[in-house]
Structure 1
Amino acid sequence: MKTIEIIQKEQIKDLKFCKREVLHDEMVKRRRNFDLMRAQALGNLLKSKVNITFETADEKSYQVNTTVWAVGSDFVCLKSDIYIPINAILEVD
C-alpha cells in the first residue's frame, strides 16, 4: 500500500498531475463523482470540509482536508483558486 502524505491546499499549486485516469473500475468512478457532488453541496451549504485523496504525475499519493467550492467536468475547484483534476482523485470522504 502506498503512503499517503497529508498536505495543505496551498501546496497543491506546486504539484504536477498527469492526464491518465487513476481509477479503472466504472462503479468506483461513479462513486467518486457522487462523492464529489456531495462534497460540493456540503461545501456550499454548510461550509463543511472533506478529505480528498489524489495522485500526482510521479505517482505519489496526497490527502488534503478542504472545502469543495465547485465540481466541473474535468476539475474540482477549491478555495483560493486551486484546482485538482478529477481523473487524479482516488477518494473523497
Structure 2
Amino acid sequence: MNTDFEIIEKENIQTLKFPHVEVLEDDNAINQRKTELERALSLGNLEHSKIQIFFEDEQSKKMVETTVWALTDESVVLKKGVGIPINRILKIA
C-alpha cells in the first residue's frame, strides 16, 4: 500500500494542514480503523513497538513510522504531543 505514500518524519507532522473531512467512506472501514488504533496504542504502551500510519493531509498521502502514545476522540497522539486527526488516517499497519 505504501507505493503512493510519501514517507514523513513525525517531527514534520506538526507543520501539515489537515482538512476536517473524513477520508474513509464506509462505516466498516471506520470501525476497522478504530480497532487498529486501539491495537497500535496497546503495542506502543506495552511493547514500545512502532507502527506505520498511512494518512492524508491537504496536499498528499503520507506515511509515518512511529509509536502511538495516546488516543483522544479526535486524534492520535505521538511523541512530543504531535497529533494526527483520526478522520485523516487511511490505514494502520
For this structure pair, what is the TM-score category when the shorter chain's length is used for normalisation? over 0.9
Code of the aligned partner of 2:9: Q
How many percent of aligned residue pairs carry the same amino acid?
Answer: 46
1:80 to partner: Cα distance: 1.1
* CA distances 1:37-69 after superposition (whole Å, capped 9, x unpaired): 0000000000001000000122x0000000001
**Alignment-derived partner of residue 74 in structure 2:** 74
Unaligned runs of 5+ in 1: none
**Alignment-derived partner of residue 43 in structure 1:** 44
Unaligned runs of 5+ in 2: none
Code of the aligned partner of 1:72: T
Alignment pair present for 1:33 and 2:34: yes
User: Which is richer in strand?
Assistant: 1
Q: Classify the secondary structure of the residue corresponding to 1:17.
A: coil
User: Which is richer in helix?
Assistant: 2
The 2-side partners of 1:32 and 1:3 are apart by: 19
The 2-side partners of 1:61 and 1:15 are apart by: 12
The 2-side partners of 1:53 and 1:91 are apart by: 5
**Alignment-derived partner of residue 89 in structure 1:** 89
